[in-house]
A and B are shown apart, each in its own frame.
Chain A
Amino acid sequence: MKTVRSVVLVSASASMLAAGWVAGGGFLNSAAATHSVAAPSTSGSSSASNTGAAGATGTFDGNSVRTRYGSYQAEIVVAAGKITDISMLESGSSDGTSQQISGYALPQLINAVLQKQTFDVGYVSGASYTTQGFESSVQSAMQAAGLA
């Protein structure tokens, strides 16, 4: 078990936590899921209308969210409707680098393992040289070279 610094997470929002696990469940329903929810955000404030209802006290486990690099499952400790601690029952692979990164960034960031996607998209961000202009330029060069 990996315990995340509780000092940072005392103000963790129950509403964000609920939203996080809803997203996690959605990913679980897809066989090709590669995006996983590892931990809730700490931004925002507690809401009485969500998981951590006002006055609730106890320890609650989130769903285990599987990725191809392991499962992530959080456990929260709630006292009087406020999250006082979050720990990870499962936190992905045992890769040292990713564990270190996860430990540092859990308060704000969600871990993911991304892989090549086959999507028909209107544009690709980050592909400076593979836009239409580049492609048509390559094509015209190939035509000039008698290759196309």
Chain B
Amino acid sequence: MTETLGTYRRTVDAMAMPFEVFLDGVGDVDAAARAVDAFHQDLLWANDVFSLWDADSVLSRHLRGELTLDECPVEVREVLELCESFRASTGGAFDARGPDGSLDPTGIVKSWAVARATWRLDAVASRWMVGASGDVVTRSGEWEIGIANPRVQGNPQGTDVLDVVRMDSEHPALATSGGAQVVDHIWDPVTGEPARHFMQVSVAGADFVSCDAWATAICAGGLRTAGLAIEAGHEVLLIIGGRYDGTFEAQSSPGWPSVAT
């Protein structure tokens, strides 16, 4: 970074979630603002297409049978096929079909939408970080990112961290699932009950959407799925349980990029 280049930081809201965009090495602040505007619009578009909370979204209409898959934007097929590929690679642990058989790709829509939109940031910043409601993707350089204390909920003073990882070109993406902030939203595909294998699961790797899918899959499938994630080239941190004194029992893969001591 030369001294003349600056930073640009903004939080945009989409899909009822905050997305923090941090740009570094910015030469033209106006261009950066326009790029983040466009990034934001991409996320809003994804929401309009994929939201299951919106009865008028393309996906909602498709699931009601009002639109065939061919009548939907090609991205709908892309996301549904991506869900199927993750179902296969995770041994069934990531499954977009709910216990009642309904299709819900929401688990990866957020990260898919972000990954699809980040090219806009590449054009205006030499390095950047996007925090997508708890999941993180970066480009270039090194970023120190905390892993949330799963016991802490919505503390406006800031979130306790249990670990700190260094994200770099080897591990540019990080996703965390489970935890106290959103309980019982992941189903165990074997039992059909809410999955409670771990308190919290973090996955670091090269691909943002894969990290997101694997974090969810490990929450759903437990230790066996964590093994599959590691074999697939990811690093994992499993928060197994809380101890009486406030510390946590945890396990991580040998290459987990922790910098905390």
Contact = CB atoms under 8 A, between A and B. Distances in A.
Given A134-B18, A138-B156, A126 B131 contact: no
Interface stretch (B28-36, B83-91, B159-167): B159-167
A143 interface: no
Given A117-B146, A125-B145, A131 B20 contact: yes
B160 to A, nearest CB: 5
B72 interface: no
B102 interface: no
A123 B159 CA distance: 10
B20 A116 contact: no
Interface string A29-67: 010111100001101000000000000000000000000
Contacts of A136: 11
Nearest to B158: A130
A43 B18 CA distance: 39
A116 B144 contact: no
- The winner among A27, A112, A133, A139 for most chain B CB atoms within 10 A is A112
- The winner among B22, B134, B223, B239 for most chain A CB atoms within 10 A is B134
A110 B237 CA distance: 9
B8 to A, nearest CB: 14
Contact of B145 (A41, A98, A114, A122): A122
Contact of A117 (B161, B226, B240): B161
- The winner among A68, A101, A128 for most chain B CB atoms within 10 A is A128
A80 interface: no
B261 A125 contact: no
Contacts of B261: 27, 30, 32-35
A121 B250 contact: no
Nearest to A102: B251
B217 interface: no
B247 A68 contact: yes
Q: Which 6 A-B pairs have the closest CB atoms?
A: A133-B18, A126-B176, A126-B148, A121-B146, A127-B159, A109-B251
